[in-house]
């Protein structure tokens, strides 16, 4: 900026006190107009520094270029005018600071004002997934019967997933087509994603002395192609009870109690013979179709039979006790393994298992 304050008075043609007045008046006018044009703190600081800055402010320039070199005849008048200008600038700069701060506060207040007439912001609260709710339901029922809840690893060894459950080497379930095997470094022991929660039968019996009453909720994995009732990852709850005097009647009573608690007292149940290497005898357990009330006729869900298959179960095969150092002559027990996803689908009338894993809130909201 080419201000007069940077030039000596002699260069500006000022040689008498009278000629000072218009010069100072012009500077004051320039200050006033600059000062009026600022409206925020950053610009205010620029104004303050430009005028009052110790080294290069306009007033410092006037002191250096006008006052100091002034002739004795001019000096008192320059000094008086400069003091008056300084007082004006200092007062105005301070006044502008106060005005700008007050205006900023006003703006903030207006912005932050709470309008109680506006509708509130509703933040959706989280809920438990329908599968978690089903797990809890099942846990509640079995805890009331004196069972403990235990959990186990999803990455298993073939020993726990198959061998110790009396599933021999050649059993088709051990095929690559059905089981996810982990890619292991050369020479490392084989690992797999557990295909059922049954390995926890073995791990529990290894660690606990009988009597044992446990349920095992958890994820399991199979190389099944996804469709309405199959997923490659799904959930099971394993159950195991071992004691000295357990019979098939205890087993039946326990399962029937569970089904009535879970589906309601109208549900009817039945056993069908089945086969699992780790139970003997083995059964499939059916519940009367909750969609048609067990009538069957014309019902697509139970395909007209009136029954829906629920889960596999049976009395623990004595061969299994041999793997965990339990005495098969003294002990009896039963075990079951339920598919939780299908149980939830049945209870809540969900027609596609994939809906459980797609995380569509429109679906999830239906189960608050």
Q: For residue 65, state whether it binds ligand FA5 (rule: CB under 6 A).
A: no
- Is residue 204 at the binding interface for ligand FA5, with CB under 6 A as the rule? no
Sorted by sequence, the CB contacts under 8 Å of residue 302 that are 6+ apart come out as 289, 291, 292, 296, 308
Task: Convert residues 211-250 into a mask of x (bound to ligand FA5 by CB under 6 A) and - (unbound).
Answer: -----------x-x-----xx--x-x-x------------
> Pick from 292, 337, 346, 356: which binds ligand FA5 (CB under 6 A)?
337
Considering only CA atoms, which of 330, 166, 321 is closest in space to residue 243? 330
Minimum separation from the CB atom of position 342 to ligand FA5 (A): 4
Cα→Cα distances 38→94, 182, 228, Å: 13, 70, 70
- Cα 272 to Cα 148: distance, rounded to the nearest angstrom: 28
- The secondary structure of 250-264 as a DSSP string is HHHHHHHHHHHHHH-
Choosing from 341, 345, 350, 356, the residue that interacts with ligand FA5 (CB under 6 A) is 341
- Residue 167 contacts residue 158 (beta carbons within 8 Å): no
- Is residue 367 within 8 A of residue 127, CB to CB? The reply is yes
Asked whether the CA dihedral 96, 101, 104, 105 is positive or negative, the reply is: negative
Nearer to ligand FA5 by Cβ, of 276 and 321: the residue is 276
Eight-class DSSP state of 329:
T
For the segment 163-202, give every residue that binds ligand FA5 (CB under 6 A): 196, 198
Give the x-and-dash track for 310-329 against ligand FA5 (CB under 6 A): -xxxx---------------
Asked if 280 touches ligand FA5 (CB under 6 A), the answer is no
Nearer to ligand FA5, 48 or 222 (CB): 222
Whichever of 179 and 198 has its CB closer to ligand FA5, that residue is: 198
Interface residues with ligand FA5 (CB under 6 A) are: 196, 198, 222, 224, 230-231, 234, 236, 238, 276, 279, 311-314, 335-337, 339, 341-342, 353
């Amino acid at each position: 900026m080419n201000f007069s304050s940077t030039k000596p008075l002699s260069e500006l043609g000022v040689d008498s006190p009278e000629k000072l007045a218009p010069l100072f008046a012009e500077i004051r006018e320039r200050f006033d107009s600059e000062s009026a044009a600022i409206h925020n703190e950053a610009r205010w600081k620029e104004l303050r520094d430009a005028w009052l800055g110790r080294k290069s402010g306009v007033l410092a320039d006037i002191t250096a270029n006008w006052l100091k070199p002034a002739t004795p005849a001019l000096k008192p008048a320059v000094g008086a005018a400069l003091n008056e200008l300084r007082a004006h600038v200092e007062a105005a700069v301070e006044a502008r600071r106060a005005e700008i701060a007050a205006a900023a506060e006003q703006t903030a207040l207006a912005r932050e004002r709470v309008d109680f007439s506006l509708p509130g912001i509703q933040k959706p609260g989280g809920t438990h997934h329908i599968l978690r709710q089903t797990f809890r339901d099942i846990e509640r029922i079995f805890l009331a019967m004196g069972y403990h809840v235990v959990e186990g690893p999803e990455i298993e060894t073939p020993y726990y997933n198959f061998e110790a459950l009396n599933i021999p080497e050649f059993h088709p379930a051990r095929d690559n087509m059905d089981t996810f095997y982990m890619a292991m470094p050369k020479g490392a022991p084989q690992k797999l994603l557990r295909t059922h929660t049954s390995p926890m039968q073995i791990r529990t019996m290894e660690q606990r002395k009988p009597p044992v009453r446990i349920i095992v909720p958890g994820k399991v994995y199979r190389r099944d192609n996804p469709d309405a009732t199959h997923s490659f990852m799904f959930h099971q709850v394993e159950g195991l009870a071992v004691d000295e005097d357990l019979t098939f009647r205890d087993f039946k009573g326990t399962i029937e109690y569970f089904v009535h608690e879970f589906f309601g007292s109208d549900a009817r149940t039945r056993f069908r013979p089945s086969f699992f290497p780790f139970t003997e005898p083995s059964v499939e357990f059916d519940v009367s179709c909750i969609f048609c009330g067990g009538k069957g006729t014309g019902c697509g869900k139970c395909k007209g039979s009136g029954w829906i298959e629920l889960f596999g179960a049976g009395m623990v095969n004595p061969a299994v006790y041999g793997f965990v150092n339990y005495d098969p002559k003294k002990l009896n027990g039963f075990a079951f393994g339920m598919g939780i996803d299908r149980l939830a689908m049945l209870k809540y009338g969900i027609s596609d298992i994939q809906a459980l894993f797609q995380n569509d809130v429109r679906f999830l909201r239906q189960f608050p």
